[in-house]
Amino acid sequence: MTTVELTKDNFDEVVNEDSFVLIDFWASWCGPCKQFAPVYDKAAEDHPDLVFGKVDTEAQTELAAAFGISSIPTLAIVRENVLVFAQPGALPAPVLEDLIQQAKSLDMNEVRSKIAAESGNS
């Protein structure tokens, strides 16, 4: 599968329709973003069951602000409408693959329980 360009107009639709979305926040002038792009695209080919989205932080400033993006590239993973991972930095292919496997193996009921417990304690 190829990557999907995410914009403020289609973001909610994509994230709500798909239970597992990886998001690459990037910009055309960013050297590390350019280095990470082929790694990300290869992972998209290797995982056709997942949605790989890209957010151009220059064109989609509202989305970048909503995620608090201050450094690019930043990779985020949303599973079942829950942000389960967000970290800046270009990842090597084996690290990205390991991260995808970890995110796939999450027990989302447990994740939601933890979120509920944490929000109840604050």
pLDDT in tens, 19-44: 899 999 999 999 999 999 999 999 99
Confidence of residue 119 (pLDDT cuts 50, 70, 90): confident
Task: Convert the pLDDT of each residue in 70-101 to its tens digit.
Answer: 999 999 999 999 999 999 999 999 999 999 99
Task: Please say if 30 is a catalytic residue.
Answer: yes
Residue 21 pLDDT = 95
Residue 2 pLDDT = 67
Given 6, 22, 23, 33, which residue is catalytic?
33
Given 15, 21, 22, 30, which residue is catalytic?
30
- pTM beyond 0.85: yes
Total number of residues shown for the chain: 122
Sheet strands (E) in 1-122? 4-5, 20-26, 51-56, 74-79, 82-88
Contact 75, 21 (CB under 8 A): no
Q: To the nearest whole number, what is the mean pLDDT of the chain? A: 93
Task: Please say if 33 is a catalytic residue.
Answer: yes
Place of tokens 């949303």: 78
Residue 122 pLDDT greater than 70, yes or no = no
Q: Domain 4-121, what architecture?
A: 3-Layer(aba) Sandwich (3.40)
